[in-house]
Chain A
Amino acid sequence: MKRYIALFLACFMLVALVTGCSGSSSSSNSSVAPSSSSSSKVIKIGIFEPASGMNGAGGKQETLGIRYAHSVKPKVTIGGVEYTIELVEVDNQSDNSKAGSAAQQLVSEGVSVVLGSYGSGVSIAAGQIFADAKIPAIGASCTNPQVTEGNPYYFRICFLDPFQGTVMANFAYDMGLRKAAVLTEAGDDYSVGLGHYFAQAFEKLGGSVVNVQFQSGETDFSATMASLVSEGIDVLFAPSSIESAPLIIKQARNAGLTCPIMAGDTWENETIITNAGDAAYDVYLSAFFDPNDTSAAAKEFVEGFTEWLKADNTRLTNNGGSTGVAGVSALGYDAYMVALAAIEAAQSTDGTAIRDALVNLKYSGVTGECASFDENGDAAKDMAYIKTIDLETGTFKFLQTQTVS
Chain B
Amino acid sequence: MSTPGWVDAALREHEEQAARDAGAGPLQPHPRDERNPGAPQPAPGTVREEQVLARIDRARRSRPRVKEPRITMSHGAGGKASRTLVEAVFLDAFRNPLLEPMEDAARLEAGGASLALTTDSFVVSPLFFPGGNIGDLAVNGTVNDLAVSGATPLYLSAGFILEEGFGLDELRTIVTSMRDAAERAGVQVVTGDTKVVEKGKADGCFITTAGVGLREPGRLLGVATAQPGDTVLVSGPIGDHGTTIMLARGELDIEADIVSDTAPLNGLAAALLAVPGLRAMRDATRGGVATILNEIAAEAGVGVLVREDDIPVRTAVRGAAELLGIDPLYVACEGRLVAVVDGAQADEALAAMRAHPLGAGAASIGQIIADPPGAVLLKTAFGGTRIVDLLVGDPLPRIC
A and B, one complex? no
Q: Measuring CB to CB, which residues of chain A are less than 8 angstroms from any residue of chain B?
A: none
